[in-house]
Structure 1
Amino acid sequence: MQRSTPSAHPPSTPDRVADAIGRAILTRRFTVGQRLIEADLTRDLGVSRSTVREAFRILASSGVVELTPHRGAVIRSLTRSDAEGLLGVLEVLTGLSARLAAANIGIGTNAKRFEAAARKLIEAETPAQLERILDERANYYRVMFDIADNAELSRVMPHTRAHLFRAQFHGVMTTADLRAMVAEYRGITAAILEGDPAKAEARARRHIRKTGERTLPRMSAFTLS
């Protein structure tokens, strides 16, 4: 029986606010360089100003926002060095998640859940479907990490910083890039559903490396901090 890590250790309110901001970055409600308005977040999320400020400090410590005098919290842009370092960590942790998910895929309803999470990614063909995969990835990885069922892995994964990376490069992905990503997700998904940990890890790590090859040369398209 799988553990229920989130319910055993529910995140604090500042953590939940930080997560909500991270999701808003992923969906591009908040964009690079935008100032986060404390009063708006207090109203929209129904929390105190002190809670929002603590969430800002959490995001600043993870390199997602910058706290500057007179401007408050501003969503930062990743530099090439930032992105290279992040991708190196994501490669290792995503590979481990895929390995563990493959090892656990036969437990309970894991295979059915993962198939459902993967469907919109691996079946994307039309331009509209391909565009949507950029937003479907977060759910795909969430389910993968859930099936991997390792509390420490989930704890150290830089989810919000990964959201920032995805949002920063959202607008520069070409149709060819998206089709390549679909092929890579098909390979990862097949290996996990086959219950092949070594193959799943290798394919997941290769996907992250290919992500770097697609994005890092385009860093000059951004005004870097």
Structure 2
Amino acid sequence: MSSTLPPEPVADTPETAADAVFHGIVQGLAQQRFVPGQRLVEVDLAAQFGVSRASVREALQRLAAEGLVELFRNKGAAIRTLSPQETLEVLDVAERMTGLLARSAARAIAAGAPRKPIEAALAQLHEADRGQDQDTFAGARRGLYRALLATSGSRELRRLLPSIHMPIVYAQHRPATLQQVRMRDYQAMCQAILAGDEAAADAAGMQHVRNVREAIARRLQ
């Protein structure tokens, strides 16, 4: 979620105490308040989020089901760490899904969907990029993906995108050039989407993830 995002989990407004913990940990990954391999202690999380330990356990079960957290018998939980191969597999899935999201949003724009939500989200992303604040940039990136999902109107994409483990990828691999890569790519992708060009939007979305993969691969080497 996260991240990617490439897609990352897109809901920021918790409805229950367990939601608050769930989204807090996902967003904490994007903001480096939580890191891969970090142990998650129920009592500490309950105090941090101001919820009951039952709510924490529910959130951890959901995070484990999403593949973001590993649960260990009698040893608690920890943020999952991805191997290099697992990282590349996540990026393979994210490449296809990001292209599909961009294509779907472009199709909707061509059919008359309003352009303003995407334009506003992109403007906020540019502002965050100029401020060089990673937390603000992460929030603006999530806002852009929410705008693209809302424009696409696809229930399947809304269901599937949050399950891709981009929050862990971004938390685990942070090349110095990654934000520059993403900003340039988001601009190109949104330009194609706002033009209603499905093929160009699809290609730009997939190329974005390829560029992220290349930056991460250089770091792994």
Above 0.5 in TM-score? yes
Which position in structure 2 is the counterpart of 1:173? 176
Q: How does 1:18-97 map to 2 (within 5 A)?
A: 18-97=22-101
Shift of 1:23: 1.2
Distance in 2 of aligned mates of 1:71 and 1:110: 50
**Bigger shift: residues 74-83 or 130-139:** 130-139
- Identity among equivalent pairs (%): 35
Which position in structure 1 is the counterpart of 2:198? 197
Shift of 1:92: 1.3
Distance in 2 of aligned mates of 1:48 and 1:169: 32
Q: How does 1:91-106 map to 2 (within 5 A)?
A: 91-105=95-109
Change (3 A) 1:179 1:47: closer
TM-score between the two structures when normalised by the length of structure 1: 0.78
Distance in 2 of aligned mates of 1:218 and 1:43: 36
Distance in 2 of aligned mates of 1:192 and 1:123: 20
Which position in structure 1 is the counterpart of 2:167? 163
Shift of 1:108: 7.6
Distance in 2 of aligned mates of 1:148 and 1:181: 21
Distance in 2 of aligned mates of 1:130 and 1:162: 16
Distance in 2 of aligned mates of 1:60 and 1:214: 28
Show CA shifts across 1:19-39 (max 9, x none). 331111111111222222212
Shift of 1:124: 7.2
**Where does structure 2 lack aligned partners over 5 or more consecutive residues?**
1-9
Distance in 1 of aligned mates of 2:38 and 2:133: 28
Distance in 2 of aligned mates of 1:102 and 1:128: 29
Shift of 1:126: 5.2
Distance in 1 of aligned mates of 2:192 and 2:207: 13
**Where does structure 1 lack aligned partners over 5 or more consecutive residues?**
1-5, 221-225
TM-score between the two structures when normalised by the length of structure 2: 0.80
Question: Secondary structure of the residue that 2:32 maps to in structure 1?
Answer: coil
Distance in 1 of aligned mates of 2:35 and 2:220: 16
Contact 2:31/2:135 (8 A) holds in 1: no
Number of aligned residues: 209
**Bigger shift: residues 19-28 or 135-144:** 135-144
Distance in 2 of aligned mates of 1:21 and 1:129: 19
Change (3 A) 1:36 1:184: same
Q: What amino acid is aligned across from residue 82 of structure 1 in structure 2?
A: E
Change (3 A) 1:90 1:200: same
Distance in 1 of aligned mates of 2:129 and 2:76: 42
Distance in 2 of aligned mates of 1:108 and 1:18: 35
Aligned-residue CA RMSD (Å): 3.0
Question: Secondary structure of the residue that 2:51 maps to in structure 1?
Answer: coil
Q: What amino acid is aligned across from residue 39 of structure 1 in structure 2?
A: V
